[in-house]
Amino acid sequence: MNANLQEQLIGELMDEVATDKLVLPSLPEIALKVRDSVEDPDMTSAKLAKVIITDAALTARLIQVANSPLVRGSREIDSVEAAVVRMGNTMVKNVVNSLIVQQMFQPTTELSDKKFRHFWQHSSQVAAICHALATFARLKPDQALLAGLVHDIGALPIIKRAEDIPQLLEDEAMLDAIIRRTHGEIGKAMLGKWEFPDAIVDAAAEHENLTRTHDGAADYADLVTVANLQSYVGEDHYLASVEWSNVPAFAKLGLDTEVSVVDMEEKGDEIKEMQNALLG
């Protein structure tokens, strides 16, 4: 019975994505205002700060991130304008987007709360690894951070839907299987609707396509693929047993498949500190 229900739900989700009928949340107004402000060529740090401080929770988290190892400074700051100056407009936009997504999904059951917390812990770890690996691939660290933070975003609507389906709430293994098979396409649809950059959309859609190849230099999908695999080292997860030497993304990034960045002495602590900063 559960197998039939699983296939039924997967079929429904994929049909809704294909026909553009899947109900997806819209980005809150504050996120759109920050995005528009950053793209304004006349925008100053003071003006951008005035937009951000209209959201108290966002203000507090942005200052917290600005004082974290993610963007080290010589002194602690206590204002949004100083945070904007330290982080730069693009990084502010990316961090704001990711923080707002965290606020958008509020769990209402014990299982969905567990899943949401696990989602943010994992996404923050992958984002921190992406940031640490970006220089190897000559990719932008702030974009790498965003790609990591939203790479599994497609799981969130599935978890929310599960709150209305008792059979799913009683069968975590089935919920995990549905997420595994559908979150890439749903993430692609969500980020496309939110008008995220194509490179970030591709990272969400393709990060578990372990045979993916393409011409040209490494991209953010390659980066997230590698970071995602490295995040599962030593874990009880189906991706933990993947043979890295068979994954083209590692070669694209020019990385040694015998070494995990998480275990690098100079990077391991930095990744942990970044993850903690992102989690708040």
Q: What share of the chain is helix, strand, coil (3-state, %, to 5)?
A: 70, 0, 30
**What one-letter code names the amino acid at 106?**
Q
Task: Locate 65 and state its tokens.
Answer: 């991130």
Report the candidate in 254, 238, 241, 142 with the shortest Cα–Cα distance to residue 199: 142
Query: Own/partner pairs for 167-173, CB < 8 Å, 24+ apart?
Result: 167/2, 167/5, 168/9, 169/109, 169/111, 169/112, 171/2, 172/111
Burial readout 239-265 (b: 16 or more C-beta within 10 A, e: otherwise): beeeebeebebbebbebeeeebbbeee
- Residues 51 and 165: their CA atoms lie apart, in Å, by 39
Round the average pLDDT of the chain to a whole number and report it. Answer: 87
Residues 188 and 204 sit within 8 Å (Cβ to Cβ): yes
Q: Does 125 have pLDDT greater than 70?
A: yes
Q: Can you give the C-alpha Rg of the chain in angstroms?
A: 19
| pLDDT, tens digit (0-9, with 9 covering 90-100), for 143-182 | 898 899 999 999 988 998 888 888 888 888 999 999 999 9
| pLDDT, tens digit (0-9, with 9 covering 90-100), for 16-63 | 988 888 887 777 888 888 888 888 888 899 999 999 999 888 888 888
Max Cα-Cα span within the chain: 60
The pLDDT assigned to 100 comes to: 78
Q: Does 1 have pLDDT greater than 70?
A: no
Burial readout 127-139 (b: 16 or more C-beta within 10 A, e: otherwise): bbbbbbbbeebeb
User: Would you list the domain boundaries of the chain?
Assistant: 26-104, 106-279
- Residues 253 and 214: their CA atoms lie apart, in Å, by 12
SS (H, E, C) 222-278: HHHHHHHHHHCCCCCCHHHHCCHHHCHHHHHHCCCCCCCHHHCHHHHHHHHHHHHHH
**What one-letter code names the amino acid at 263?**
D
The count of other CB atoms within 10 Å of the CB of residue 8 is 10
Length of the chain: 280
Q: Does 269 have pLDDT greater than 80?
A: no
- Residues 268 and 96: their CA atoms lie apart, in Å, by 25
| Architecture per CATH, 106-279 | Orthogonal Bundle (1.10)
Q: Does 66 have pLDDT greater than 90?
A: no
Q: What is the mean pLDDT of residues 195-217?
A: 95
Q: Which residue has the higher pLDDT, 136 or 159?
A: 159
Please tell me the least confidently modeled range out of 41-45, 88-92, 251-255. 88-92
Q: Which residue has the higher pLDDT, 129 or 135?
A: 129
The pLDDT assigned to 67 comes to: 85
